[in-house]
Chains A and B, each alone.
Chain A
Amino acid sequence: MKLKVSKEKILNSLQKVQSVVSSRTTIPILSNVLIKAEKDRIHFTATDLDVSVIAGCEAQVTKPGATTLPARRIFSIFKELPGPDIELEVDDKNQASIRSGSSFFKLVGASEDEFPPLPKLDAAKTYSLDQGTFREMVRCTCYAASHDESRPMLNGVLLSFKDAKLAVVATDGRRMALFEQEVEFPKGSEGDLILPFKTVEELNATLQSAGQLKILTTPKQIAFEFDDIIIMSKLVEGTFPNFRQVIPAQAEESIALERETLLTALRRVSLVSGDNSTSAKLAFSKNKLEITVTAPNVGEASETLPIKFTGRAITIAFNPDFLMDPLRTLTSDEISLELTDDMNPGVVKCNVPFLYVIMPMRVS
Chain B
Amino acid sequence: MATQKQAGAGKAAGNFFLIHGEDEFRVKAAARARVDALCPPADQAFGLEILNGTVDNAEGAALVLRRCLGALRTPSFLGGRKVVWLQDANFFADTNLIKGDALKDARDGFAQELKQGLGDGFVLVISAGKVDGRTAFFKTCKELAAIEIFAVAEKSYQQEKPALEWAGECFRKAGLRVSGELLKAFLDRAGYDTRQIITEVEKLSVYLGARKEITAEDIALLVSPARESENWDLPNAAGHRQLQRALDILRQLLFQGESEVPLIIGLENLWRDLLILRGCLDRGWLRLSSDGWKTEAQWSTAPEVEAALGSLDKDPRKIHPFRVIKLVEQARKFSSSELQRALAETLATHERMVSGSGAPDVLLEMLLVKLLRPTGSK
Return the CB mask of B73-88 against A: 1 if under 8 Å, else 0: 1111110000000010
Question: Does B77 contact A345, Cβ atoms closer than 8 Å?
Answer: yes
Q: What is the distance, in angstroms, from A259's C-beta to the closest C-beta of chain B?
A: 23
Interface stretch of the complex, out of B63-71, B240-248, B280-288, B325-333: B63-71
Task: Determine which of B44, B46, B69, B70 lies in contact with A246 in the assembled complex, contact meaning CB atoms within 8 Å.
Answer: B46
B45 interface residue, CB < 8 Å from A?
yes
Question: Does A364 contact B75, Cβ atoms closer than 8 Å?
Answer: no
Interface core residue of B44, B69, B73 (most chain A CB under 10 Å): B73
Report the separation of the CA atoms of residues A68 and B109 in the bound assembly, to the nearest whole angstrom: 56
Q: What is the distance, in angstroms, from B24's C-beta to the closest C-beta of chain A?
A: 17
Known pairs A151-B50, A176-B77, A343-B75; A361 contacts B70 (CB<8 A): yes
Residue of A nearest to B45 (CB): A241
Interface stretch of the complex, out of A93-101, A178-186, A201-209, A272-280: A272-280
B306 interface residue, CB < 8 Å from A?
no
Q: What is the distance, in angstroms, from B260's C-beta to the closest C-beta of chain A?
A: 41
Residue of B nearest to A345 (CB): B77
B116 interface residue, CB < 8 Å from A?
yes
Residues of chain A from 162 to 196 with CB closer than 8 A to chain B in the complex:
171, 173-174, 176
* Chain B hits for A357, CB < 8 A: 77
* Chain A hits for B351, CB < 8 A: none
Report the separation of the CA atoms of residues A173 and B49 in the bound assembly, to the nearest whole angstrom: 8
Interface core residue of B66, B73, B74 (most chain A CB under 10 Å): B74
Report the separation of the CA atoms of residues A151 and B70 in the bound assembly, to the nearest whole angstrom: 18
Residue of A nearest to B42 (CB): A241
Q: What is the distance, in angstroms, from B75's C-beta to the closest C-beta of chain A?
A: 6
Question: Does B45 contact A151, Cβ atoms closer than 8 Å?
Answer: yes
Report the separation of the CA atoms of residues A276 and B72 in the bound assembly, to the nearest whole angstrom: 11
Question: Does A279 contact B73, Cβ atoms closer than 8 Å?
Answer: yes
With an 8 Å Cβ cutoff, the count of chain B residues facing the other chain is 23
Known pairs A148-B50, A151-B50; A276 contacts B75 (CB<8 A): no
A17 interface residue, CB < 8 Å from B?
no
* Chain B hits for A150, CB < 8 A: 50, 87
Q: What is the distance, in angstroms, from A103's C-beta to the closest C-beta of chain B?
A: 46
Task: Determine which of B63, B68, B75, B109 lies in contact with A359 in the assembled complex, contact meaning CB atoms within 8 Å.
Answer: B75
Residue of B nearest to A361 (CB): B73
A299 interface residue, CB < 8 Å from B?
no
Question: Does B74 contact A360, Cβ atoms closer than 8 Å?
Answer: yes
State the total of A-B contacts with C-beta under 8 angstroms: 64
A117 interface residue, CB < 8 Å from B?
no
Question: Does B77 contact A277, Cβ atoms closer than 8 Å?
Answer: no
Residues of chain A from 232 to 290 with CB closer than 8 A to chain B in the complex:
241, 245-246, 275-279
Report the separation of the CA atoms of residues A62 and B75 in the bound assembly, to the nearest whole angstrom: 65
* Chain A hits for B46, CB < 8 A: 173, 241, 246
B119 interface residue, CB < 8 Å from A?
yes
* Chain B hits for A153, CB < 8 A: 45
Question: Does B77 contact A173, Cβ atoms closer than 8 Å?
Answer: yes
B365 interface residue, CB < 8 Å from A?
no
* Chain A hits for B78, CB < 8 A: 245-246
Q: What is the distance, in angstroms, from B43's C-beta to the closest C-beta of chain A?
A: 9
A362 interface residue, CB < 8 Å from B?
yes
A61 interface residue, CB < 8 Å from B?
no
Q: What is the distance, in angstroms, from B59's C-beta to the closest C-beta of chain A?
A: 11
A217 interface residue, CB < 8 Å from B?
no
A319 interface residue, CB < 8 Å from B?
yes
Task: Determine which of A275, A343, A363 lies in contact with B70 in the assembled complex, contact meaning CB atoms within 8 Å.
Answer: A275
B56 interface residue, CB < 8 Å from A?
no
Residue of B nearest to A151 (CB): B45
Question: Does B66 contact A276, Cβ atoms closer than 8 Å?
Answer: yes
Report the separation of the CA atoms of residues A221 and B355 in the bound assembly, to the nearest whole angstrom: 72
A154 interface residue, CB < 8 Å from B?
yes
Residue of B nearest to A362 (CB): B73
Report the separation of the CA atoms of residues A127 and B102 in the bound assembly, to the nearest whole angstrom: 53
* Chain B hits for A148, CB < 8 A: 49-50
Residues of chain A from 298 to 352 with CB closer than 8 A to chain B in the complex:
319, 343, 345
Report the separation of the CA atoms of residues A174 and B82 in the bound assembly, to the nearest whole angstrom: 11
Report the separation of the CA atoms of residues A9 and B77 in the bound assembly, to the nearest whole angstrom: 48
Interface core residue of A246, A279, A360, A361 (most chain B CB under 10 Å): A361
* Chain A hits for B49, CB < 8 A: 148, 173-174
Known pairs A246-B78, A345-B77; A277 contacts B70 (CB<8 A): yes
Question: Does A296 contact B109, Cβ atoms closer than 8 Å?
Answer: yes
Residue of B nearest to A343 (CB): B75
Residue of B nearest to A241 (CB): B45
B338 interface residue, CB < 8 Å from A?
no
Question: Does B77 contact A246, Cβ atoms closer than 8 Å?
Answer: yes
* Chain A hits for B116, CB < 8 A: 364
Question: Does B70 contact A362, Cβ atoms closer than 8 Å?
Answer: no
B113 interface residue, CB < 8 Å from A?
yes
The 6 A-B pairs with the shortest beta carbon distances in the complex, nearest first, are A241-B45, A277-B70, A277-B66, A277-B69, A362-B73, A361-B73
20 sampled A-B residue pairs with Cβ under 8 A: A151-B44, A151-B45, A171-B77, A174-B77, A245-B78, A246-B78, A276-B66, A276-B70, A277-B67, A277-B68, A277-B69, A277-B70, A278-B70, A319-B70, A345-B77, A359-B77, A360-B74, A361-B73, A361-B74, A362-B73
Q: A148-B49, A362-B75 are in contact. List 8 more A-B contacts (CB 8 A).
A: A151-B45, A174-B71, A246-B46, A275-B63, A277-B69, A319-B70, A360-B74, A361-B73
A residues contacting B by CB (< 8 A) are: 148, 150-151, 153-154, 171, 173-174, 176, 241, 245-246, 275-279, 296, 319, 343, 345, 357, 359-364
